[in-house]
Amino acid sequence: MCIWRRRDPTRARLRAECALRARHGFDVAWLDRREVAGQFGFASGGAIRSQGDGEIDVHRLTHWLLADASRRGTRVYDRTDVTAVRADGSGVTLVTSRGTKVRARRLVVAAGYEVAQQLRRDRGHLHSTWALVSEPLADLSWWPDRCLIWETRRPYLYLRTTSDGRVMMGGEDEPWSSRHENVPLMRRKTRRLLKRFAKWFPAVTLEVAYAWAGVFATTPDGLPYIGTLPEHPHTVFALGYEGNGITFSAIAATLIRDWWADRPNADAAVFAFDRQARGVQMSARGA
């Protein structure tokens, strides 16, 4: 995996991040402008070269996890909306759109942005983002190690390949939640993504297979909200806001496990809903 910063006056912060990762045992190396150009063929103010990372097909992984949980006794209710949650002294009752009621001692809610209206709290800002995937390419030898490339300047850009030889890329974010619904804008954003790709790899022509847009949320300190709320008894929320879903999911699993077992966890305060009010000073960059 490669993380890049191009034409960015805060390059020193990226170098500091590289040093921080190295101190904590990550296999990283700093590449200066000349090394980036020599190894990868395009201009960059500097880069972190990170080894040992991975990528997954989240759709297949989710279905595999559901199938495994089902084999272990979990009951999965597909294509079923929860229309109401009623809490009492001993647990919660979920009312579904199919008329069935589900009774539980405790409830874990990991439904992402769909939960915002239920919480009635202004805890994140919604942005629109755009992405595309190309038709398969016969040759990807020009892509060094087929590493993931992340340009951290704003608007950011990320690129990676897929197992069947496609190029997937995205970015061009805007700080409005409804902009992704604009179809003409999506066409313009797709052209912009292709133009930015051409600056990196001018000898390669991409044919777009699919393009799409969506919404994601940011928080004031760059961390997700994982924890409980007094107005929702017997319930814990795992809201993976920001763009580090795999990492935050692993953290949420640990925190929720300890909550379920009534074990204290010293990290819970870092991700709690009231952390800003209590002055917990932590950020994704400084964590």
Q: Are 232 and 115 in contact (CB under 8 A)?
A: no
pTM, to two decimals = 0.78
Show the low-confidence residues of the chain (pLDDT under 50). Answer: 1, 5-6, 283-287
Q: List pLDDT tens digits, range 208-239.
A: 999 999 888 888 888 889 999 999 999 999 98
At 237 the three-state DSSP class reads strand
Q: Which residue has the tokens 């008894």?
A: 233
Domain map (residue ranges) of the chain: 1-53, 58-104
Measured between alpha carbons, how far apart are the two ends of the chain, in Å? 20
pLDDT for position 168: 95
Q: Are 48 and 36 in contact (CB under 8 A)?
A: no
Q: Provide the b/e sequence for 138-165 (b: ≥16 CB within 10 Å).
A: eeeeebeeebbbbbbeeebbbbbbeeee
Q: List pLDDT tens digits, range 169-209.
A: 998 888 887 888 888 999 999 999 999 999 889 999 999 99
pLDDT for position 286: 42
Half-sphere exposure of 90 (CA within 13 A, CB side): 1
Q: Are 176 and 216 in contact (CB under 8 A)?
A: no
pLDDT for position 284: 47
DSSP-based helix, strand, coil % in the chain, nearest 5:
30, 25, 45
At 170 the three-state DSSP class reads strand
Question: Distance of CA 4 to CAs 152, 228, 250, Å?
Answer: 6, 37, 25
The length of the chain is 287
Q: Are 285 and 243 in contact (CB under 8 A)?
A: no
